[in-house]
Amino acid sequence: MAPLMLALYQPDIPQNAGTMLRTCACLGVAAAIIGPAGFPISDRDFRRAGMDYLDHVTIDRHASFAAFQAWRAACNRSGETRRLLLLSTRATVSYLDCDYREGDILLVGRESAGAPEEVHAAADLALSIPMRPGMRSLNVAVAAAIIMGEALRQLRAL
């Protein structure tokens, strides 16, 4: 099992999804795509952003958030703890104040709309990246990379 998983909730920009999966491949992080995606997984922009790295990352696909949650519950029942950490601009806890654990799932929302209430309610913890006043958000791929880096640093997984 990879030390971490990055889950993409209904991604809608293929270039960002490809970039995040390429980052997962390089860092040894597993990935999940929670559908429906806003583009076909065979989309050429998705493939171009992921390049040949997509062959080097384990990608689980889930048709819906309910299917993802069922998979996560099955993992937990089998003794494989899968804590869900939501990356959100609405969170009040800094990603720097989290004690990451092996098996954690870092979940990013849609680029266009973030994550809905049901995802917020299901999360074990919501994390944000502190930013200067007046700044709304980072690109989702950049935010994912920042938090994956800190989690892997804490886990000494690199």
Q: Which among 103, 150, 154 has a CA at the least distance from the CA of 127?
A: 150
At residue 98, the pLDDT reads 98
pLDDT given at position 136? 87
114: left (phi over 0), alpha (psi -120 to 50) or beta: left
| Rounded mean pLDDT for each run of 10 residues along the chain, 158 residues in total | 92 92 95 91 67 86 97 94 95 97 96 94 98 93 97 88
- At residue 157, the pLDDT reads 73
**What structural domains does the chain harbor?**
4-155 (3.40.1280.10)
